[in-house]
Amino acid sequence: MAMPFHIPDEYFHGCLKSAQSLLELLGGLHADPIVARAGKAQEQALPLVQIQMRYWEEQMALWTALPAFGAAGGEGSTSARGGKGGDRRFHARAWHESPWHSLLMQNYLIHARLLADLVERVGCDDKDRNKLRFFTQQFIDAMSPANFAGTNPEAIGLALETSGESLRQGLANLLEDLGRGRIAITDETAFEVGRNVATSEGAVIFENGVMQLIQYAPQTGEVAARPLVIVPPCINKFYILDLQPENSFVRFACEQGYTVFLVSWCNDAQAMKDATWDDYVEQGVMKAIEVARAVAGADKVNTVGWCVGGTLLSSALALLRGRGDRSVASMTLLTTMLDFEEPGDLGAYVDEQMVQQREQTIGRGGIYPGRELGFVFQTLRANDLIWPYVVNNYLKGKSPAAFDLLYWNADGTNLPGPMYAWYLRNMYLENNLRTPGRLSMCGDPVDLGRIDMPSYVLATQEDHIVPWKSAYRTMQLVSGKSEFVLGASGHIAGVINPASRNKRSYWTGGKPGADADAWLAQATPTPGSWWTHWNDWLGRHAGKPVPARTQLGNSAYPPVEPAPGRYVKVRCD
């Protein structure tokens, strides 16, 4: 039986394993809150006793304060657990004005802390603990009283005000989402690729079975002699880099006087079902560099890779350098991992059993559906990208607002099974890329140390996909002169931080070395966007100004169709 929402098997397996681990630990707790289960080692029993005692003390304080809840109209409820703090789920006055709902909220928070504390006492290694921590948090988030119609005072109040119309509309929204196989997180009718997102002027000048290459129209009379080739992640569509004119990285680069080429990955399930990692490297990244250089008539190109696009770019550049190819002047990596020792929350999904399952089912041909991949990324920020929409759409019967970033987030991409399975095993599971010569791609051994051109490595401080300290390890893997920059915010907002808005900040100038914390301790913060800092750095590798070409492509690579092209418009629905 198919799931109405496209939830990957590894999510269920992770939740079940975490539940089993917690139940085993709970079995070690005696009913008496100050006695540990017989046979437990003293060093484990004492922390468990402390956890028990704190839990019972919080419960006692909560129930002792119960008479005051009613007398204070619910205001007294905030004293036990600080329910009026930073948790957005419980900001509404209804949670604090109602004694019952205030009690419910705080009891939930106490139990959530108990489970989180117990996770830290499970006997396992760090990797298994991170997995347990992640999936336990999934359970904690799912069980919030805010997520259920019978325990959410806002939903109950709205249902009474509308005579049940909000619940009726919520059911209609649920049925609609079941039909599309995912939770609506934005008004998707408000946007269309090529109409009001991905609108920068340009043309597809080359295509093959793996990608289309877009060349964008110049925005200045003169351009740098060396063009810029951008390799976006294949797990998302490229137009996160070209959402609206005011927050478009593509447009910014064009306005700084660069000839910009960008890879648009193929998303057709049938066409891509047999594609491999090598295909992405050779027919994708290497081909894009070759075509861009030929069209621009340049001696070299500059390159940018984001996330897995950066992993692909680094792989390609290591191979090119190993073959004696010097056609790339610089490499910029945006929130990219090359060393997967600490892979962040995504690592919770990956173990030998999961990888073997993917290898057996789609590793020799098939597709990992974009809707499942999208759900995985939503779970990394469940209280931002899942549960608020469950509450808003189904319990309150409202429709999500139009937001270009969330439209892009919901516009998923399919991944070829062979490429995906290889990536999981060799990067997330075995971390092979960091070791020189351990991997071969396109028939040649890969050594990241051969990447000797200047590198600009950007990480973001709150990144839940590529932890910034993992991105920092790139500095020890490549051999060229490298500049490490740490931006504020997360994986998306930290990268898409337009210079014109002058928001957030970034850190530069720490002393190079193996210790990321030591680098940060010596780094200098600068308010505003890292885009301007990067532009100054890139200018040193851009070559002399030359007149901008009025025609896109050339005789060997004539325009195929206007940007953004066909490939990006293929949807996974």
Per-residue pLDDT of 558-567, as tens digits, reads 999 999 999 9
Residue 92, pLDDT above cutoff 60: yes
Higher pLDDT, 46 or 148: 148
Residue 473, pLDDT above cutoff 80: yes
pLDDT, tens digit, 9 for 90 and up, residues 421-450: 999 999 999 999 999 999 999 999 999 999
Q: Which two structure tokens, joined as six digits, stand for 23? A: 């139940």
Give the pLDDT band of residue 87 (cuts 50, 70, 90).
confident
Contacts of 24 (CB under 8 A, 6+ apart): 122
Higher pLDDT, 152 or 121: 152
Q: Which two structure tokens, joined as six digits, stand for 453? A: 């051109």
Mean pLDDT of 350-377: 93
Mean pLDDT of 248-273: 95
Residue 311, pLDDT above cutoff 90: yes
| Pairwise CA distance, residues 496 & 194, whole Å | 19
Range among 43-57, 130-144, 360-374, 521-535 with highest mean pLDDT value? 521-535
DSSP 261-318: EEEEE---HHHHTT--HHHIIIIIIIHHHHHHHHHHT-S-EEEEEETHHHHHHHHHHH
Three-state SS annotation for 187-248: CHHHCCECCCECCCCEEEEEECCCEEEEEECCCCCEEECCCEEEECCCCCCHHHHCCCHHHC
Q: Which two structure tokens, joined as six digits, stand for 110? A: 């106490």
Q: What number of CA atoms fall less than 13 Å from residue 30's CA on the CB side?
A: 14
Give the pLDDT band of residue 119 (cuts 50, 70, 90).
confident
| Pairwise CA distance, residues 232 & 333, whole Å | 10
pLDDT, tens digit, 9 for 90 and up, residues 187-224: 999 999 999 999 999 999 999 999 999 999 999 999 99
Mean pLDDT of 466-492: 96
Residue 85, pLDDT above cutoff 70: no
pLDDT, tens digit, 9 for 90 and up, residues 492-547: 999 999 998 889 999 999 998 999 999 999 999 999 999 999 999 999 999 999 99
Q: Which two structure tokens, joined as six digits, stand for 409? A: 């987030």
The two beta strands, 328-334 and 301-306, are: parallel
Q: Which two structure tokens, joined as six digits, stand for 52? A: 């028990």
Secondary structure of residue 416 in the 3-state scheme: strand
Mean pLDDT of 487-496: 96
Q: Which two structure tokens, joined as six digits, stand for 138? A: 């999934």
* pLDDT score for 82: 41
Mean pLDDT of 157-177: 96
| Pairwise CA distance, residues 162 & 144, whole Å | 24
DSSP 96-125: HHSHHHHHHHHHHHHHHHHHHHHHTTS---
Secondary structure of residue 555 in the 3-state scheme: coil
CA distances in angstroms from 372 to 7, 8, 378, 410, 573, listed in the order given: 6, 6, 10, 11, 11
Percent of all residues in the chain with a pLDDT value above 70, rounded to a whole number: 88
Mean pLDDT of 36-40: 42
Residue 362, pLDDT above cutoff 50: yes
The two beta strands, 482-487 and 505-508, are: antiparallel
Q: DSSP assignment, residue 547?
A: E
Is-contact 518 491, C-beta < 8 A?
no
* pLDDT score for 6: 62
Which residue numbers are catalytic? 307
* Mean pLDDT, the chain, integer: 90
| Pairwise CA distance, residues 138 & 118, whole Å | 15
Q: Alpha helices, DSSP H only, in 411-453?
A: 417-423
Mean pLDDT of 375-388: 93
CA distances in angstroms from 398 to 5, 109, 168, 230, 393, listed in the order given: 20, 27, 11, 39, 5
Contacts of 20 (CB under 8 A, 6+ apart): none
Give the pLDDT band of residue 35 (cuts 50, 70, 90).
very low
Residue 32, pLDDT above cutoff 60: no
Secondary structure of residue 14 in the 3-state scheme: helix
Q: How many degrees, rounded to 5, is the angle at CA 266 between CA 299 and CA 358? A: 115
Q: Which two structure tokens, joined as six digits, stand for 254? A: 């064009």
Residue 39, pLDDT above cutoff 60: no
CA distances in angstroms from 413 to 91, 234, 274, 283, 408, listed in the order given: 35, 7, 15, 18, 11
Secondary structure of residue 101 in the 3-state scheme: helix
The two beta strands, 367-368 and 328-334, are: unpaired
| Pairwise CA distance, residues 107 & 69, whole Å | 14
| Pairwise CA distance, residues 551 & 8, whole Å | 46
Q: Which one, of 472, 485, 493, lies nearest residue 533 by Cα?
A: 485
Higher pLDDT, 520 or 370: 520
pLDDT, tens digit, 9 for 90 and up, residues 327-355: 999 999 999 999 999 999 999 999 999 99
Give the pLDDT band of residue 240 (cuts 50, 70, 90).
very high
Peptide bond into 562 cis (omega under 30): no
Percent of all residues in the chain with a pLDDT value above 90, rounded to a whole number: 76
Go through the domains of the chain in sequence order and give each one's CATH number: 9-161 (no CATH), 163-191+370-410 (no CATH), 202-369+414-569 (3.40.50.1820)
DSSP 126-170: HHHHHHHHHHHHHHHHHT-GGGSTTT-HHHHHHHHHTTTHHHHHH
* pLDDT score for 80: 38
* pLDDT score for 118: 87
DSSP-assigned beta bridge partners for residue 203: 215, 562
Contacts of 93 (CB under 8 A, 6+ apart): none
The two beta strands, 415-416 and 524-527, are: unpaired
Task: Kindly tell me the burial class for residue 42, based on how many C-beta atoms sit within 10 Å of its own C-beta (0-12, 13-18, 19 or more).
Answer: exposed
* pLDDT score for 124: 81
Q: Which two structure tokens, joined as six digits, stand for 365? A: 């041909």
CA distances in angstroms from 462 to 169, 312, 342, 350, listed in the order given: 36, 23, 15, 21
Q: Which one, of 214, 210, 327, lies nearest residue 277 by Cα?
A: 210
Give the pLDDT band of residue 490 (cuts 50, 70, 90).
very high
Residue 113, pLDDT above cutoff 70: yes
* pLDDT score for 23: 65
Q: How many residues does the chain have?
A: 573
Residue 69, pLDDT above cutoff 60: no
Residue 485, pLDDT above cutoff 50: yes
Secondary structure of residue 509 in the 3-state scheme: coil
* pLDDT score for 51: 80
Mean pLDDT of 356-364: 95
Report residue 442 CA to chain centroid gap: 28
Contacts of 514 (CB under 8 A, 6+ apart): 476
Give the pLDDT band of residue 5 (cuts 50, 70, 90).
low
Residue 70, pLDDT above cutoff 70: no
Max CA distance (Å), the chain: 83
